[in-house]
Structure 1
Amino acid sequence: MTLHAELRVHRAGFALELDLAIEPGEVVALLGPNGAGKTTALRALAGLLPGSHIRTEESTWDKLPAEKRPIGVVFQDYLLFATMSALDNVAFGLRARGTRKAEANEIARHWLAQVGLAEFAKAKPRTLSGGQAQRVALARALATSPELLLLDEPLAALDASTRLRVRSDLGRHLQHYPGHTLLVTHDPLDAMVLADRIVILEDGRVVQQGTPREVVRQPRTDYVAHLVGLNFYRGVAEGTEVRLDDGGTLTIAEPAQGPVHVVFPPSAVSLYPDKPAGSPRNTWQAIVSGIEQHAHTTRVDLAGNPAVLADITTATVAELRLQPGDTLWVSLKATEIHTYPR
C-alpha cells in the first residue's frame, strides 16, 4: 500500500509544503542543504510537529499521537539508553507497547541477530563502536514492525572508514525491509547509494525528484548540480548555439530550441596559457579565482563568460604554474555538453 504524506508546516520566516508518496519496500531520500526543511519534515511525519496528513489505503494517522504511530526512527546520534544493554534497548519499544518481557526479548534477539550483533546482546552502548551502535538503533526501530522507517542522518556520526562499511550493511538491511523508508540526509553519496528515489528539498519546497540516475544526469538547480559535480547553466538554445542567461555563448553538438539547462563535467574542461591552435568549438578567456586540491585532481574555479569549474591533474597545475589571478584560455568540446529543456 502506498503511503501518502502531505506536510504543511508554517513558522516565522519559513514554510514547509511537501507531498510525499512512498511505495512498500521503497527507500526515498530527502536531500537538501541546511535549512531546507528536512528535519522539520521528519518531525512532522513522526507526529512531533502539527501539520501532517498521512494516510495509507487502510488508515489515517493524523489523530495518532507520536507514540502510537506505526513509525520507527533511527536518529543521527542513535539515542540509545546508556544504562540498558543492547537487548533491552531493542526490546524497549515493544515493552512500551505492551508486549510481554519474554516475547519482547525474543524478538529483540532475533533483530540483533539480523544486524549481526547476536553476541553483543548484553553489551552497554558505551562499549559499542559507532557502527555497532548504529545497527542496534536500526534493530530497535525495526523490532516494532513499523509501517514507516525514518532515518535521520543515520551515518553522520561515523568516521569515514566506518561509514563505508556501515552504509553497505544498511543498504543490505533496507533491501529486505517491506515497509516504507524515508532517509533524511545532506550527503549525496548516502542518497545515491541507499535510495531508490531522491527528493530534493530547498527552502521548504521540492525542486526536483527522480531516480539517482535521473538526478545526476539532469540537475534542475545550482545546488543539485554542485552536489553531483557538474558545471550548470541556464540559457536559450537556437540550433547549435546556446546564449547563457548569465553571459556567454556555447556551441553544442546536438541542435536544440528554446529555454534549456546546460551541463558538463569539470573534467571536460581543458586549460591553456595561450589560445589553443586549431579550431576548438568553444574557447574563451577566464581568470583563475580559486584552486582546490581534491583526491587525485585539482579543481580550478575560473571567472569568465561563462564562469567555469575545471578538474585538471597535478602535473598540469605544475606545468601551468597556476596562481589565483592568472588569465588562461578555456577549451570545451561541443560533444561534452549536455542540454535538456527547462
Structure 2
Amino acid sequence: MTLHAELRVRRGGFDLGVDLGVERGEVVALLGPNGAGKTTALRALAGLTPGGRVTCDGSAWDGLPAERRPVGVVFQDYLLFAHMSVLDNVAFGPRARGTRKAEANARALDHLRQVGLEDFAKAKPRTLSGGQAQRVALARALATSPELLLLDEPLAALDASTRLRVRSELARHLRTYEGHTLLVTHDPLDAMVLADRIVILEGGRAVQEGAPREVVRQPRTDYVAHLVGLNFYRGTAHSTEVRLDDGGTLTVAEPADGPVHVVFPPSAVSLYQEKPAGSPRNTWPVTVSGIEQHAHTTRVDLDGSPAVLADVTTATVAELRLQPGDELWASLKATEIHTYPR
C-alpha cells in the first residue's frame, strides 16, 4: 500500500508545495540544498508543522496530533534521554502509548537485539559511541511499529570513519523494515546508498525524482549535476549539433532534435596549449579561472563558450604550468557527451 502526502506549508516568505508517494517497504530520499524545504516536509509528515494532507493505507492522518500519528522519527542529533538507560529510551514510545512496562521492555530488548545492542540495555546514552547512539535512536523509532519511519540527516552527527560503517548497517536494517521510510539528507552518497528512489527538492518544489541510477545519469538541474560531478548544459539539438543556451556549440555522436540536456564528466575534457589536430572532436578556446586540488586529480575551472570543468592529472598541471588567466584549448570527444530530452 502507498502513503500519499500532499504537503502545503507557508512560513514567512517560504512556500512548500510537494506531493510524495512512498510504497510499503520502499525508502525514499528527499535530497536538496539547505533551505530547500526538506525539514519542513518531514515536520509536516510527522504532524509537527500543520500543512497538507497525508493518507496511508486508506486512513487519513489529517488533524491527528504528532503523538497520535503512527510515525517514528530518528533525529539528526538522536535526542536520546540522557537520564534514562538505553532500554528505557527504546521502551519509552510503547509505554507512552499505554503498553505495560514488562511488555514494553520485552519489545525494547527485541529491537536492541535486532541492532546488535542488547548488551548495552542498562547503559546510559553518554557512554555510547556515535554509531551506537544512532542504532539506539533507530530501535526507539521502530519500537512503536510505525507505518512511517522518518530519518532526519541520520548520519550527519558521525565522523567520516564511522559514517561509512554505520551507513552500511543502516542500509541493512532498512531492508528488513516493512513500513514506509522517508530519508531527509543533503548528502548525495547517503541518498544513493540508502534509497530506492530519490526526490530532489529545490525552493520548496520537487524538480526531479527517480531511482538513484536515473538521477545520476540524467540530472535535470544545475544542483543535481553539481552533486554528481557532471558538466551540465541546456541546448537545442539539430541532428548531431547542439546549440547551447548560454553560448557555444557541441557536436555529439547520437543525433537528436529539439530541446535537450547535455552532460559529460570533467574527466572527458583535455587541455592543450595549442589547438589540437587529428580526429574530429569538439575544440574551443578557454581561459583558466580557478584551480582546485582534489584527492588524485586537479579540477580546473575554465571560462569559454561553453564554460567547462576539467579534471586533469598532476602531470598535466606540471606540463602546462597551469595558472589562473592562462589561455588554453579545451578538447572533448563527441562520444563522451550524453544528451536527453528536456
Query: Per the shorter chain, which TM-score range?
Result: over 0.9
Q: Secondary structure at the match of 2:59?
A: coil
Q: Secondary structure at the match of 1:78?
A: coil
**Structure 1 stretches (4+) deviating beyond 2 angstroms?**
none
**Whole-angstrom CA distance in 1 between matches of 2:81 and 2:271:** 56
**Whole-angstrom CA distance in 1 between matches of 2:88 and 2:328:** 64
2:309 match: 309
2:33 match: 33
Taking only the aligned residue pairs, the percentage that are identical comes to 84
**Whole-angstrom CA distance in 2 between matches of 1:271 and 1:248:** 17
- Where structure 1 has 5 or more consecutive residues not aligned to the other structure, the ranges are none
Q: What's the TM-score, normalizing by structure 2?
A: 0.99
Query: By how many angstroms is 1:280 displaced?
Result: 3.7
**Whole-angstrom CA distance in 1 between matches of 2:45 and 2:255:** 45
2:183 match: 183
Q: Structure 1, residues 160-214: CA drift from partner, whole Å, max 9, x if none?
A: 0100000000000000000000000000000000000000000000100000011
1:233 match: 233
**Whole-angstrom CA distance in 2 between matches of 1:215 and 1:59:** 32
**Whole-angstrom CA distance in 2 between matches of 1:18 and 1:81:** 33
1:53 match: 53
**Whole-angstrom CA distance in 2 between matches of 1:152 and 1:117:** 22
Check if 1:142 corresponds to 2:146. Answer: no
1:245 match: 245
Instruction: State the one-letter code of the partner of 1:112.
Output: L
Query: By how many angstroms is 1:58 displaced?
Result: 3.1
1:287 match: 287
Query: By how many angstroms is 1:340 displaced?
Result: 0.5
Check if 1:195 corresponds to 2:222. Answer: no
Instruction: State the one-letter code of the partner of 1:307.
Output: A
Q: Secondary structure at the match of 1:339?
A: strand
| Pairs within 5 Å for 1:262-301 | 262-301=262-301
Q: How many residues align?
A: 342
Q: Secondary structure at the match of 1:274?
A: coil
Q: Secondary structure at the match of 1:34?
A: coil
Instruction: State the one-letter code of the partner of 2:68.
Output: K
Q: Secondary structure at the match of 1:63?
A: coil
**Whole-angstrom CA distance in 2 between matches of 1:306 and 1:75:** 43
**Whole-angstrom CA distance in 2 between matches of 1:58 and 1:246:** 48
2:167 match: 167
Check if 1:213 corresponds to 2:232. Answer: no
**Equivalent pair of 1:280/1:331 in contact (CA under 8 Å):** no
**Whole-angstrom CA distance in 1 between matches of 2:82 and 2:37:** 30
Q: Secondary structure at the match of 1:62?
A: coil
**Equivalent pair of 1:299/1:312 in contact (CA under 8 Å):** yes
**Whole-angstrom CA distance in 2 between matches of 1:143 and 1:121:** 14
1:109 match: 109
Query: By how many angstroms is 1:279 displaced?
Result: 4.1
- Where structure 2 has 5 or more consecutive residues not aligned to the other structure, the ranges are none
**Equivalent pair of 1:26/1:181 in contact (CA under 8 Å):** yes
Q: What's the TM-score, normalizing by structure 1?
A: 0.99
Instruction: State the one-letter code of the partner of 2:142.
Output: L
**Equivalent pair of 1:280/1:332 in contact (CA under 8 Å):** no
Q: Secondary structure at the match of 1:262?
A: strand
